[in-house]
Amino acid sequence: MQIILASASPRRKELLESLGLELKIRTPNIDEFRAHGESGSDYVLRMSREKAFAVLEQCPRPLSMPLLAADTTVVCGGEILEKPVDRADAARMLGLLRDREHYVYTGVCIIFANSEEIQNFVVESKVVFGQYSEHAIQTYIDSGEADDKAGAYGIQGKAAVFVKSVEGSYTNIVGLPLFECARALSII
């Protein structure tokens, strides 16, 4: 099966290719901003839809294959933690996440071929980080992994050592809830 992936994320690409999908990558060109008072789940739901429609405008119509867009964010204590603006911001985020629970939300928007029917949904996963030192935070930041990830960490990398427990979809935390996407695409 072929799909259009409206994302430049290498993690989403790898996850979808693990399902045997052939991808046509299109990068959406939109301003990503959170509206005042918008919750984490509402934000990723809206962003996934906006990304999908931005890429849809670049595609010949009718669509010959499904188009999938996604957006992920982290919420801790009511604060939305997007990608860090710099390494000091990454250190602040990792300090905030230490020894607490937080939630990872991924919004997914799928526009189906021909009918252009839309499915737009959010998946939530709960992550609990254990206790770790300032040195561990700095070592992780120095690795460069925190630079482009919501919440300043990638669970599939060196930050796995911070994780005490996970409830819900692991792949959602990586950046795309595979089970829910595969089910929506009728792969499983």
> Would you name the residues annotated as active-site residues?
71
Say if CB 59 and CB 99 are below 8 A apart: no
Judge residue 18's burial from the number of C-beta atoms within 10 Å of its C-beta, 0-12 exposed, 13-18 middle, 19 or more buried. exposed
Rounded to whole angstroms, the Cα distance separating 100 from 111 reads 36
CA atoms within 13 A on the CB side of 151: 28
Q: Which residues contact 145 (CB under 8 A, 6 or more apart)?
A: 153, 154, 157, 158, 159
Query: Read out DSSP for 143-177?
Result: TTTTTTSGGG--TTTGGGGGEEEEES-HHHHHT--
